[in-house]
Amino acid sequence: MTTEPPAALPMVVPAQGLPPQVRIHEVGARDGLQNEKATVPTEVKAEFIHRLADAGLTTIEATSFVHPKWVPQLADAEALFPRLDDLTKSRGVHLPVLVPNARGLDRALALGARRVAVFASATESFAKANLNRTVDEALAMFEPVVARAKEAESAHDQVHVRGYLSMCFGDPWEGAVPIAQVVRVCKALLDMGCDELSLGDTIGVATPGHVLELLAALNERGVPTDRVGVHFHDTYGQALANTLAALQHGVTTLDASAGGLGGCPFAKSATGNLATEDLVWMLHGLGIETGVDLGRLTATSAWMADQLGRPSPSRTVRALSHKEQ
Amino acid sequence: MTTEPPAALPMVVPAQGLPPQVRIHEVGARDGLQNEKATVPTEVKAEFIHRLADAGLTTIEATSFVHPKWVPQLADAEALFPRLDDLTKSRGVHLPVLVPNARGLDRALALGARRVAVFASATESFAKANLNRTVDEALAMFEPVVARAKEAESAHDQVHVRGYLSMCFGDPWEGAVPIAQVVRVCKALLDMGCDELSLGDTIGVATPGHVLELLAALNERGVPTDRVGVHFHDTYGQALANTLAALQHGVTTLDASAGGLGGCPFAKSATGNLATEDLVWMLHGLGIETGVDLGRLTATSAWMADQLGRPSPSRTVRALSHKEQ
């Protein structure tokens, strides 16, 4: 199996008004593996993350410090994180981790985590389903966590806090989500101290006009675009078109998942994360710097697909992996 | 299995500068089925095309009048086309067919076809592989076919000629294809009398800047955007993002294939046509009129996937077909 892109392809042709470089926030090892039925051994996770770093990714979400009962697939956070010390300490790779509460934050900080993320919901239904709280109760839960992370910052060189926001475009129970409602929660997350937002299209229903309207509404309410990342799912095949729209608006923090990890393409439960390789193909064609070696990344995702025993849903991985999968 | 979209989704949010309506040129029954290993019975093809029309598609490429030896999957063109008479005669549906030469054109016209298409190549390698001719020899072959179609026009109310152009962005042998080379063949097709072009990204390598640059180059050489359609493949997951770029340039003729027909997603040989459902999801979210009923279209593609015995590669079809596929 080779994973070399075809010679001189994609042809590099920049488009007007796009940023010259972006930061890919790689979520495969956390958001991807969290949704796998099988539990992946800690060694395999550590190797996966090292391979992602070797492929040039510099922000790799590593794991989640939630209670193991909630997310058994990531119950090995304590065992995994120390195996990644070389990446943070000598190679400058950022390894954000999810923290749901003060206890999770303490565990993460004790292990040396310097990038943490909280995860709120734009809708009441999902806040209830995911956190068993109202939207505002969830925000109240995260407020002291963010405050404590910011406090820790004075002791360390940096603690960067990301605020994930789920269901920013549509919700399986509520349908379309009003933009004002999303903006309100975004503002609350920034007001409590989050450094960056990640706008999640958790069920993958957004289309480009909706993306642009939300970004414009955030700007109008004083949220600068450089504080905003986008996290699109490919459930309806819209993720890359939506990412293009976000790039056209100036967004430079793009979430994606190596190999499209995050749900089997044949299962109803597919979360369908945007595949990092499909994103990188577009960005490189547009002449936008990512620092990623697409051949190495594709080889990594093909390797991970073998570990999981099923083909990658990334179209680029399939196209570049010269075997019948 | 239901195929109803989630309530009120996608949320309709237009984006500035996009056309208010488009024409989808549906290629599943021809470009899709032509690439199937199994030969689909004529009755099934006829039912498929009727169902596509019932779902609101108004331009449905029906078959190909090439020599049966070349494309055995479409060897039943003579038997199929008369079964579609109701669509052309009383329902105003356009049913374009491929014609490689004068003999094919005569067969098609005799059966009442009023929209035909020739298929040229932007690269020498593919002209050789597909037509065993140079690019210019292929153009010379099509010239009398187009002339004859235009002659027939004086006898009938209308004969519309589409010129397909393959390998407009990349070629598996030659790599990136120079834009000037593509423009030259486009001009030749229009000069010989083609009413419309379809710019094919046959191996799916294009990215949005490349698309915009080719469209601008065509405009500069006097080709108006309303003579140009785009035909993107999803081999690297780029088709919908490229289509968005084309829309932003003003293109209103968009090729797509119901259910993404046109190659198994797991086979190296996947041609990976853009799935009509994924396209319609985006267009409807953008408030762009298509005339298509997405629920009916999805049900049609799910039905066709059952006929073919494998899941649809369309993400929208999978998301809306509530069963584990």
On whether any CB of chain A is under 8 Å from the CB of B20, the answer is no
pLDDT of residue B266: 43
DSSP label at residue B209: H
Q: What is the pLDDT of residue B158?
A: 80
Give the Cβ contact number of residue B23 at 10 Å: 16
For an interface test with A, give the residue of B1, B4, B11 to mutate (most A CBs within 10 A): B11
- Whether residue B203 lies within 8 A of chain A, CB to CB, comes out as yes
Cβ neighbours of residue A196 closer than 8 Å, sequence gap 6 or more: A160, A161, A162, A163, A227, A228, A229, A253
Structure tokens at B118: 């020739």
Q: In what order do the strands lie in the sheet with B63-64?
A: B59-60, B23-26, B253-256, B228-232, B196-201, B160-166, B115-121, B97-98, B63-64
* A62: Cβ contacts below 8 Å, ≥ 6 apart: A29, A30, A49, A80, A81, A84, A95, A96, A97
Asked if the model's pLDDT at residue A269 lies above 60, the reply is no
Q: What does DSSP assign to residue A214?
A: H
The answer to whether B116 faces chain A, any CB pair under 8 Å, is no
Verify whether the Cβ–Cβ distance A7 to B267 is below 8 Å: no
B213 touching A (Cβ < 8 Å): yes
A58 with A93: CB under 8 angstroms?
A: yes
CA B156 vs. chain centroid, Å, equals 25
pLDDT classification of A263: cutoffs 50, 70, 90: low
Residue A4 in contact with partner chain B when CB distance is under 8 A: no
Q: Does residue A309 surpass a pLDDT of 80? A: yes
Which chain B residues are within 8 Å of A284, Cβ to Cβ? 207
pLDDT, residue B68, reads 86
Contact assignment for B237 to A281 by CB distance below 8 Å:
yes
Mutation target to probe the A interface, by most A beta carbons within 10 A, among B4, B125, B168, B207 is B207
A11, A12, A270: residue with CB nearest B169? A11
Q: Which two tokens stand for residue A103?
A: 């206890």
User: Rounded to an integer, what distance in angstroms lies between the CA atom of residue A110 and that of residue B193?
Assistant: 73
Average pLDDT of chain A is 92
Residue A175 is nearest to which of B8, B14, B287, comparing CB atoms? B8
Cβ-contact A197, A229 below 8 angstroms: yes
Task: Compute the distance between CA of residue A303 and CA of residue A323 in angstroms, rounded to an integer.
Answer: 13
Residues of chain B with pLDDT under 50: 1-2, 264-270, 323-325
pLDDT of res. A311: 87
Q: Measure the CA–CA gap between B100 and A88, rounded to whole angstroms.
A: 61
pLDDT tens digit sequence for A158-217: 899 999 999 999 999 999 999 999 999 999 999 999 999 999 999 999 999 999 999 999
From chain B, the residues in CB contact with A232 under 8 A are: none
Q: Which fold has domain B24-320?
A: TIM Barrel (3.20.20)
* Terminal-residue alpha carbon distance, chain A: 11
Query: Which residues in chain A touch residue B14, judged by CB atoms under 8 angstroms apart?
Result: 209
Q: Which pLDDT tens digit goes with each residue over A77-113?
A: 999 999 999 999 999 999 999 999 999 999 999 999 9
Chain A residues lying within 8 Å of B235, measured CB to CB = 315, 319
Q: How far away is chain A from the Cα of B84, in angstroms, using its nearest Cα?
A: 31
Q: Please write down the HEC assignment for all residues of B238-305.
A: CHHHHHHHHHHHCCCEEEEEHHHCCCCCCCCCCCCECEHHHHHHHHHHCCCECCCCHHHHHHHHHHHH
Give the amino acid at B21.
Q
Q: Return d(Cα A105, Cα A151) in angstroms, integer.
A: 12
pLDDT for the residue A249: 98
A-B CB pairs within 8 A amount to 196
User: Tell me: the pLDDT tens digits for A242-254?
Assistant: 999 999 999 999 9
Nearest-CA residue of chain A relative to B312?
Answer: A266
- Nearest-Cα distance to chain A for B250, in Å, is 16
- Any CB–CB contact under 8 A between B322 and chain A? yes
CA distance linking residue A220 with residue A184, whole number of Å: 12
Please report which residue ranges of A221-293 form alpha helices under DSSP H. 239-249, 276-285
Query: What is the enclosing helix (H) or strand (E) of B106?
Result: helix B102-110
The pLDDT confidence band at residue A324, using thresholds 50, 70 and 90, is very low
Contacts of B265 in chain A (CB under 8 A): 265, 315, 318
Query: Rounded to whole angstroms, how far apart are CA atoms A210 and A206?
Result: 6
Amino acid B200: pLDDT: 97
Q: Does A210 touch chain B (CB under 8 A)?
A: yes
pLDDT class of A4 with cuts at 50, 70, 90: low
Report the share of chain A in percent with pLDDT over 90: 84
**Catalytic one among A168, A186, A194, A264?**
A264
Query: Residue type for B296, please?
Result: R
Whether A322 has its CB under 8 Å from any CB of chain B: the answer is yes
- How far, in Å, CA of B50 to CA of B34, rounded? 18
CATH number, span A23-320: 3.20.20.70
B281 CB neighbours in chain A (<8 A) are 207, 236-238
Question: Phi, psi at residue A231, to the nearest 5°?
Answer: -135, 95
Q: Which residue of A has its CA nearest to B211?
A: A13
**Catalytic-residue membership of B194:** no
Candidates A75, A118, A67, A117; CA nearest to A96 is A117
Rounded Cα gap, residues A133 and A127, in angstroms: 6
CB atoms within 10 A of CB B260: 32
Q: Which helix (H) or strand (E) holds A164?
A: strand A160-166
Range A274-288 average pLDDT: 98
Q: How far is the C-alpha of B122 from the C-alpha of B187, rounded, in Å?
A: 11
**Which pLDDT does position B267 carry in this prediction?**
44
Condensed to tens digits (0 to 9), the pLDDT of residues A31-66 reads: 999 988 888 999 999 999 999 999 999 999 999 999
Residues from chain B that touch A241, judged by Cβ atoms under 8 A, are 240-241, 243-244, 282
What pLDDT does residue B91 have? 95
Selecting from B176, B206, B209 the residue whose C-beta is nearest the C-beta of A8 gives B176
> What Cα–Cα distance (Å) separates residue B139 from each residue in B120, B122, B127, B204?
7, 10, 10, 23
pLDDT at A265 over 70: no
Half-sphere exposure of A142 (CA within 13 A, CB side): 31
Dist. CA B290–CA B301, nearest whole Å: 17
In angstroms, how far is the first alpha carbon of chain B from the final one?
11
Q: Which of A18, A212, A325 sits opposite B266 (nearest CB)?
A: A325
